[in-house]
């Protein structure tokens, strides 16, 4: 059968017949299964997921991970894609292998990232989302999710303190931060949408030395350049110093740059620090600057009446990035960008009025076609998992989840203070607990000139040992002149005091010979 035609030639009658016969033939094998067999396959797959990923993957007596070196793992997974398909039994075995060799982020001893845990209602929402396979750009193809997304965003904005505004779910907190930079730039210089960088003077944006790396990535991605990011000093607890922000703004202006945005942080990645939003808002108000808050990590604290004071002043900002997939365990990904703006800034900045998608003569209210507000066309439905979890838990249940994380973090801090060989980097104000494990050979030698250099080598060795045993996972990093220390993240609702005790005892066991 000849599938192509030469340039300038039409489709021959014989070729047209071939096409018609192909179109008239049976459905492709993947869709031509007996419905009973299809259902049986999916039931078997779901059974594997429930047993291996959920039951075992959240059981403290099971391993967090089963480490394999890359070449061995490639062989075990048989990653090569071939011309011929495989049997049902082989496919089921593939599913088991994928789960077996993946890290179990729902495990109560997975402390490695700012996300962890597994909420069953959120997981149910994710399964439904994947099954429906739609994109919420128009009401006609995603009516349920267009309305649901607006309701969820409305509730998140209310927690910030706004009774109106706008927002969108983004593919991660980094993209939410980049949206904020782009919106602030467009608001100041709307011509840049058409004329690009030639419409702009040299611009300056400001964030602290503890900010997320996406701020600099965003500046590079948007054509501003990383030099446009002016780094503001942080205090010893990791909070932005407003007086230095004022100084950096004056310095940028003296150098001929035009300040346009300040990005504060509520819940820094390593230390979990909360910038003083009221004081920073005062600076921004004096200079007419857009104030964005990266609350990807700390935003969920707004649900807690006990701890929301950490974000005092957030109602004064222009935009907020908030990731419920982190502390609320809504599941990856669930990242909201919230705006105080009520002038349709998102659509004015990003809209392109694609006539094949956003027709203005539809039979329903075209204001419900929200897809032109975002840079993407196809977009995941990220609201259902949060909505379903919220429906099940209620605001009170989510508040208890946040408060309990704070309580467990405090328990861990007090236990660290009791144990020989553990030293806090600082007193935490959030659920990031940063500390050193000092092995027996280094105890009492803090005055040695090479002490910090030797201590810095401890965390990488212990990380390798715990991962290869599969007993737990915890991250580490240096900060300034401080050597590598562990960053414990208390976020999984399934964690207990026993898991905190295990963490400390396991580090002692793994490091007793160091």
Report helix angle 173-188 to 214-221, nearest 10.
50
Give dist(CA 218, CA 195) in Å, integer: 19
**CATH 3.40.50.2300, applies to 394-510:** no
Give dist(CA 179, CA 183) in Å, integer: 6
pLDDT at 33: 65
Burial class of 268 by CB neighbour count within 10 A (0 to 12, 13 to 18, 19+): buried
Domain boundaries, the chain: 35-64+66-102, 135-380, 394-510
Peptide bond into 438 cis (omega under 30): no
pLDDT at 14: 78
Assign 3-class secondary structure to 25-79.
Answer: CCCCHHHCCCHHHHHHHHHHHHHHHHHHHHHCCCCCCCCCCCCCCHHHHHHHHCC
pLDDT at 6: 52
One-character DSSP codes across 421-465 = TEEESS--SSSEEEEEE--GGGTT-TTSTTHHHHHHTHHHHHHHH
**CATH 3.40.640.10, applies to 135-380:** yes
Burial class of 234 by CB neighbour count within 10 A (0 to 12, 13 to 18, 19+): buried
CA angle 467, 485, 109 (to 5 degrees): 40
Structure tokens at 447: 């005055």
pTM of the prediction?
0.94
293 backbone dihedrals φ, ψ, rounded to 5°: -120, 120
Give dist(CA 330, CA 48) in Å, integer: 22
- Length of the chain (residues): 514
pLDDT in tens, 135-184: 999 999 999 999 999 999 999 999 999 999 999 999 999 999 999 999 99
**168 by DSSP, 3-state: which?**
strand
CA distances from 336 to 82, 250, 457 (A): 40, 32, 38
| Residues in a beta bridge with 263 | 207, 292
Which conformational region is residue 305 in: left (phi greater than 0), alpha (psi within -120 to 50 degrees), or beta?
alpha
Structure tokens at 91: 């496919």
CB atoms within 10 A of CB 84: 4
Per DSSP bridges, beta strands 473-479 and 110-111 are parallel
CA distances from 410 to 71, 415, 434 (A): 42, 9, 12
pLDDT at 337: 98
pLDDT in tens, 338-362: 999 999 999 999 999 999 999 999 9
Structure tokens at 381: 């439905």
CA distances from 467 to 184, 256, 421, 460 (A): 43, 50, 21, 11
H/E run at residue 88? helix 88-100
Structure tokens at 423: 């030293």
pLDDT at 8: 47
Q: Which residues of the chain have pLDDT under 50?
A: 1-3, 5, 8
pLDDT at 26: 66
One-character DSSP codes across 241-301 = -HHHHHHHHHHHHHTT-EEEEEEEEBS-TTT--B--HHHHHHHHHHHT-EEEEE-TTTGGG
pLDDT at 122: 98
Upper half-sphere CA count for residue 367 (Cβ side, 13 Å): 4
């Amino acid at each position: 059968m000849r599938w192509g035609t030469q340039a300038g030639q039409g489709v021959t009658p014989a070729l047209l017949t071939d096409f018609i016969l192909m179109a008239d033939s049976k459905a492709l094998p993947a869709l031509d299964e007996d419905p009973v067999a299809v259902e049986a396959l999916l039931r078997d797959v779901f059974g594997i997921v429930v047993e291996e990923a959920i039951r075992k993957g959240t059981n403290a007596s099971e391993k967090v991970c089963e480490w394999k070196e890359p070449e061995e793992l490639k062989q075990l997974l048989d990653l090569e894609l071939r011309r011929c398909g495989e049997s049902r039994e082989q496919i089921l075995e593939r599913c088991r292998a994928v789960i077996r060799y993946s890290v179990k982020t729902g495990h109560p001893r997975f402390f490695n990232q700012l996300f962890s845990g597994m909420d069953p209602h959120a997981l149910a929402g994710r399964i439904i989302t994947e099954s429906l396979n739609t994109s919420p750009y128009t009401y006609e193809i995603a009516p349920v999710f267009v309305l649901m997304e607006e309701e969820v965003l409305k509730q998140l904005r209310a927690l910030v303190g706004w009774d109106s505004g706008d927002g969108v779910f983004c593919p991660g907190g980094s993209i939410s931060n980049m949206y904020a930079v782009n919106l602030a730039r467009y608001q100041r210089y709307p011509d840049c949408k058409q004329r690009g960088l030639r419409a702009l003077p040299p611009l300056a944006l400001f964030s602290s030395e503890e900010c997320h790396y996406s701020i600099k990535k965003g500046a590079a991605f948007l054509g501003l350049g990383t030099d446009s990011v002016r780094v503001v000093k942080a205090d010893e607890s990791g909070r932005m110093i407003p007086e230095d922000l004022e100084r950096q703004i004056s310095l940028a202006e003296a150098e001929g740059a035009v300040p346009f945005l300040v990005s504060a942080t509520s819940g820094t990645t390593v230390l979990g620090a909360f910038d003083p939003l009221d004081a920073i808002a005062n600076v921004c108000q004096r200079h007419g600057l857009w104030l964005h808050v990266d609350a990807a990590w700390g935003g969920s604290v707004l649900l807690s009446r006990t701890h929301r004071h950490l974000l005092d002043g957030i109602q004064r900002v222009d935009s907020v990035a908030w990731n419920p997939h982190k502390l609320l365990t809504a599941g990856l990904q669930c990242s909201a960008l919230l705006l105080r703006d009520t002038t349709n800034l998102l659509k004015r900045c990003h809209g392109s009025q694609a006539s094949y998608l956003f027709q203005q003569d539809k039979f329903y209210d075209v204001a419900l076609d929200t897809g032109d507000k975002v840079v993407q066309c196809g977009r995941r439905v990220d609201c259902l998992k949060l909505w379903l979890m919220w429906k099940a838990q209620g605001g009170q249940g989510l508040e208890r989840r946040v408060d309990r994380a704070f309580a467990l973090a405090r328990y861990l801090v007090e236990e660290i203070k009791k144990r020989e060989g553990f030293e806090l980097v600082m007193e935490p104000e959030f659920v990031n607990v940063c500390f050193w494990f000092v092995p027996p050979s280094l105890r009492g030698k803090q005055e040695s000139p090479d002490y910090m250099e030797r201590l810095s080598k401890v965390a990488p060795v212990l990380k390798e040992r715990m991962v290869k045993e599969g007993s737990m996972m915890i991250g580490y990093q240096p900060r300034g002149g401080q050597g590598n220390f562990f960053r414990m993240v208390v976020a999984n609702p399934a964690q207990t005091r026993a898991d905190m005790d295990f963490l400390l005892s396991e580090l002692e066991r793994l490091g007793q010979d160091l």
